[in-house]
Amino acid sequence: MGYRDLLDMTDTVSVVTGGASGIGLETARALAACGSTIILLDQNEESLARAASALRAAGIAVGAAERLDVTQSAAVTAMADRLFEQFGAADVLVNSAGIARLNGGLETPDDEWRLVMDVNVNGTFWCCRAFGRHMIARGKGSIVNLGSMSGIIVNRPQTAPSYMASKGAVHQLTKALAAEWAKSGVRVNALAPGYVGTDMTLKMRERPELFNVWLDMTPMGRCGEPSEIAAAAVFLASAASSYITGSILSIDGGYTAW
């Protein structure tokens, strides 16, 4: 296979959770641009319908757009099995569904802690397990989890122990599954983005005491673009990274290099 062909995703199926907005939606666009048929999964039905319509209007092959709450283990398994019957085993799974809450350790209520862990950690594992089972049976597949630089360092000036702990867990889960499934032909890697210019992040410009510190602590002095994260997701999903598994790829403008 020539080098130009390594990113060719023609005749593949890619499942993207959290695919209705932000990094998930941009990753779906990037995978589709390389030839993959996209399956969007998201909890927000309105955003999901809007995203699927926009992608299809742009000529992108959206195989399905389905509502899914990743915190519900049985629902995740049922979805993976139903999509397997329709499309076969997914070639790629991108776990982009995630949430963040900015409360300090003493101010974080039990239900908030459980919710962040449930979405970010449990949801990632349920999806890895359900879709990974079909990948293993076929003998190939690539899973890309969305971790964070917050799983590597402690952010400042905001406090968010629930988010940081959850992303650290995603990184370790990624390594554990990568080691376990490597000989089955299934690769598992994670991205560790820094501050990315999604609507949610850019809204924080209303709080310059946070936003300006984030930029100052980033050597490149700017937020990342969703497309810059999506491009890395395509790399990890594709044959271009065929000897990479268990890796946590930092995409943070140099933030963790200080």
Cite the active site residues: 163
Sequence letter at residue 142:
S
Sequence letter at residue 159:
T
In three-state form (DSSP H/G/I as H, E/B as E, the rest C), the secondary structure along 168-184 is: HHHHHHHHHHHHHHHHH
The backbone torsions φ and ψ at residue 195, rounded to the nearest 5 degrees and listed phi first, read -75, 120
Residue 189's closest CA among 229, 153, 149, 142? 142
Sequence letter at residue 162:
S
Q: In what order do the strands lie in the sheet with 186-193?
A: 62-67, 37-42, 13-17, 92-95, 141-146, 186-193, 248-251
Neighbours of 173 (CB within 10 A): 19
